[in-house]
Amino acid sequence: MCRNILMLPPGCLGVPCLSEEENKARIAPVGSEADRGQKALECVPRFVVAAGDVALVLIGFYLAFLVRFGAELPPDNWRPFLHLAPWLAGGALLVFMGLGLYDRRLDGFAPTMRGLLTAVVLIGLGAAVASYWSREFAFPRSVILIGGCIQLILLVGWRRLIWRLDIRLHGRRGLLIVGDDGEALSFWGKLWGMPGGLFWIVGVLPPEQTDQLEERLAEADAVVVMPSLSAEVRRQVAAASLERGREVYLVPSDFEVMVNSARVSQIDDLPVLQLERFQLSWSQAVAKRLMDVSAALAGLTVGLPVLICLVFLIAVTSPGSPFYVQERVGRHGRVFWLYKLRTMVADAEEDTGPVLAAVGDPRVTGLGRFLRAARLDELPQLFNVLKGDMSIVGPRPERAEFVQQFEAENAAYQYRQLVKPGLTGLAQVQGRYDTSAADKLRFDLYYVRNYSLLMDLQIMLQTIPVVLTPSAALGQNGRPVPKSVAFLTNSRTESEQALGEKRAPN
């Protein structure tokens, strides 16, 4: 999945804001009209990246042998590595693919770093297991450990080079947002603070001014089409933009997500899209349950000592039960008791009632902040998985109060309850903790519609580097939207600016 970055006005980054005229000067088109949207190469080919990854993994093991044994490699130790090398190369490639490290990412290098660290650890564990199963006991464990350190250094350097080449090939591009001011501010808020400077907003074209599209396309490299536009207007905007050689980023409606994987069928000579029911087949359900039970038992085997230690620490650091039991809504609207480690003070909602956690929430204990950052407060939910209330992968379960609120706002929300809720999900690995319910719903609907066992395995793998991102578990984002965004929405009066700020996401 490609994540794009916005080049923001200077005032958003802590330096003085420029005037509207100066801002417009900064967004002057780069390159000729004929060159816009016609790049022959958008990024480094992924097969080149994959070949470099595999080569550096094997080179890392070779260098580890040199560090461990010197120039004279003992045949009894070197031979087992040669026997396992093809399997290690294939396994490394699968790990990189499973972690999404071949997806085109333009939102900074940190996600790639986390993925590489996870990949190196998994490759090392895989090498140890493979040497044991193949009875190649002479493959030294010290080489695996040293090799992991060398591989991480080599891979980080290689991927940093690839990332910079991708940015150079991609170039800086101006975005024209077609939608209302509220949607533009929401879109801008999602991109605010991302590194890279690859995209900037050249302006916003309200729905009632789409007749000016041809004129506005002259200053844009790509167009973002918001879901509030009618289907006919979206079609016209996309067609006109593509005809002018502009990239089109279509923010999908819930219905478009639902028909994403529709099967093309035919009635006589009429092609039709066939939408199937939102549910797993019996074979998928059986395979998913077997994987859930196996993963939960494995997780409890490894995590039970950690869980016992955490229960003791919670008990001695804050009064109250170490566990927190709460009603959540599961499959088909059935309510079940969800188990968590307590991260807030006892009776945290006695005065406020049900409210979502916020950044710097005073109700969260010191130990609780660590547990949330490391996702360790979710460990007891492995028991929910064994009981059959939850799955390892699926939409996150919500409280009944919030389910009612979200269903009142969006009727499509009910479809996410056609599968069991999960410990992790597509919305968790692709979004953030403070991603809006509407955006999380799009991910959840995509997961339900496109479910496969392979997708579950990929999400489980991609959850590992997400766990290494403490900021994603802190709560709703209370980040304000600076006033310098006003020129992006073409606001002209103070009252219009104030209206735009009221619509800004919290």
Where does 58-191 show beta strands of DSSP type E? 173-178
Is pLDDT above 70 for 160? Answer: yes
d(CA 184, CA 189): 8
137 band by pLDDT with thresholds 50, 70 and 90 = low
Hey, what are 332's tokens? Answer: 């088909």
For range 468-492, the mean pLDDT:
44
d(CA 270, CA 266): 6
DSSP helix/strand/coil, 161:
helix
Q: What contacts 24+ positions apart, CB below 8 Å, involve 477-481?
A: 477/359, 477/432, 477/434, 477/505, 477/506, 478/358, 478/359, 478/360, 478/506, 479/189, 479/192, 479/193, 480/504, 481/185, 481/188, 481/189, 481/192, 481/505
Q: What is the pLDDT of residue 147?
A: 93
Residue with tokens 């001695």, as numbered in its chain: 316
DSSP helix/strand/coil, 326:
strand
DSSP class of residue 104 equals -
Hey, what are 405's tokens? Answer: 């609120």
- Beta-carbon contacts of residue 331 (< 8 Å; ≥ 6 apart): 417, 418, 419, 420, 421
- Beta-carbon contacts of residue 132 (< 8 Å; ≥ 6 apart): none
* pLDDT cut 70: percent of the chain above it: 77
- Beta-carbon contacts of residue 403 (< 8 Å; ≥ 6 apart): 329, 333, 413, 417
User: What phi and psi values does residue 436 have, to the nearest 5 degrees?
Assistant: -65, 155
Q: What is the pLDDT of residue 194?
A: 57
Answer with the residue of higher pLDDT: 228 or 422. 422
Nearest of 275, 277, 280, 281 to residue 262 by alpha carbon: 275
Cα three-residue angle 4-193-355, rounded to 5 degrees: 105
Q: What is the pLDDT of residue 446?
A: 87
Q: What is the separation of C-alpha 188 from the centre of its chain, rounded to a whole number of angstroms? A: 18
Is pLDDT above 70 for 31? Answer: no
Q: What is the pLDDT of residue 48?
A: 93
Say which CATH topology domain 10-30+172-251+481-503 has: Rossmann fold (3.40.50)
Is pLDDT above 70 for 87? Answer: yes
Is pLDDT above 50 for 439? Answer: yes
Q: What is the pLDDT of residue 235?
A: 87
Average pLDDT, the chain: 78
First to last CA, the chain: 25
Residue 206: CB atoms within 10 Å? 16
Q: What is the pLDDT of residue 159?
A: 93
Is pLDDT above 50 for 11? Answer: no
Is pLDDT above 80 for 279? Answer: no
Per-domain residue ranges for the chain?
Answer: 10-30+172-251+481-503, 46-169, 282-473
**Contact predicate 205/176, CB 8 Å:** yes
Residue 255: CB atoms within 10 Å? 12
Q: What is the pLDDT of residue 489?
A: 38
431 band by pLDDT with thresholds 50, 70 and 90 = confident
Element (H, E) at 265: strand 263-267
Answer with the residue of higher pLDDT: 313 or 196. 313
Convert the pLDDT of each residue in 337-393 to its tens digit: 999 998 887 766 665 666 666 556 677 888 888 888 777 888 999 999 999 999 999
* pLDDT cut 90: percent of the chain above it: 24
Indicate the pTM of the whole model. 0.68
Distances (CA, A) of 414 to 142, 256, 335, 398: 52, 16, 14, 12
